[in-house]
A and B are shown apart, each in its own frame.
Chain A
Amino acid sequence: GPKVLQIPSHQIIDMGQMVTLNCDPVSNHLYFYWYKQILGQQMEFLVNFYNGKVMEKSKLFKDQFSVERPDGSYFTLKIQPTALEDSAVYFCASSSRDWGYEQYFGPGTRLTVL
């Protein structure tokens, strides 16, 4: 099936630093998502993105978070500055144009903030 890639698979950084998580979505998909899963907890929606804009974001999407997809390249999640509670696995997903259409997920990036 369609593949979503995420780079890197694991990132370790010191608290206060900036981090950028990269997602390579399915090529013809236009809707992009980030979800956060803290170890042992439920996966939770962070944000979705379409046509260069954030469509919806949750309470977890703090002011320190930002997303973009410059020139159709990677869809990125940037956290600046990072905090200890940002340690989690971040999953990227993409879907085709219809609402609620199947979201295809990447393998996740495990972020560890020390």
Chain B
Amino acid sequence: QQKVQQSPESLTVSEGAMASLNCTFSDGTSNNFRWYRQHSAKGLEVLVSIFSDGEKEEGRFTAHLNRANLHVSLHIREPQPSDSAVYLCAVSMRGNYKYVFGAGTRLKVIA
């Protein structure tokens, strides 16, 4: 059964500094990876999707995937206080409709 783990549990960065979040998964056949952001009392906002090894950039958000290492990361360039939220990693496999989520990283960006 797929296991998805995120680190760190919480992260505080200064405004403008790079924020890096990590996600490891257990099933090497996974091929759909997404990063979502969850603000309190709001739905999940999709930030970036990645399907093959390498890098995918969406604005200030960049995902790096290394399936051999069972690792996908999210880097946030020039974070703002409004980026403070819980960031969730979601993993799925083609042909499988469900996502398996990590527990999340709570990011706080201080001015």
Q: Which residues of A approach B to under 8 Å, CB–CB?
A: 1, 4, 9, 31, 33, 35, 41-45, 48, 50, 55-56, 58, 91, 93, 99-100, 102-108
> Quick check: B97 and A48 within 8 Å, CB to CB?
yes
Given A55-B97, A56-B97; A4-B88 close (CB under 8 Å) = no
- B82 CB to closest chain A CB (Å) equals 17
* CB closest residue in chain B, given A103: B99
A92 to B58, CA, bound (A): 25
> Quick check: A41 and B103 within 8 Å, CB to CB?
yes
B3-25 CB contact bits vs A (8 Å, 1 = yes)?
Answer: 00000000000000000000000
- Find chain B residues with CB under 8 A from A1 CB: 45-46
Most B C-beta atoms less than 10 A away, residue of A4, A42, A58 = A42
| Cβ 8 A contact of A45, one of B34, B42, B88, B98 | B98
> Quick check: A100 and B96 within 8 Å, CB to CB?
yes
* CB closest residue in chain B, given A45: B98
| Cβ 8 A contact of A4, one of B43, B102, B103 | B43
Given A43-B88, A102-B34; A33-B97 close (CB under 8 Å) = yes
A100 to B93, CA, bound (A): 7
- Find chain A residues with CB under 8 A from B49 CB: 102
> Quick check: A102 and B46 within 8 Å, CB to CB?
yes
- Find chain A residues with CB under 8 A from B61 CB: none
- Find chain A residues with CB under 8 A from B36 CB: 105
- B72 CB to closest chain A CB (Å) equals 15
| Cβ 8 A contact of B102, one of A42, A56, A106 | A42
- A41 CB to closest chain B CB (Å) equals 7
A105 to B47, CA, bound (A): 12
Most B C-beta atoms less than 10 A away, residue of A58, A105, A106 = A105
9 more contacts with CB within 8 A, not counting A1-B45, A42-B104, are A31-B97, A42-B103, A99-B95, A99-B96, A99-B97, A100-B31, A100-B92, A102-B46, A106-B43
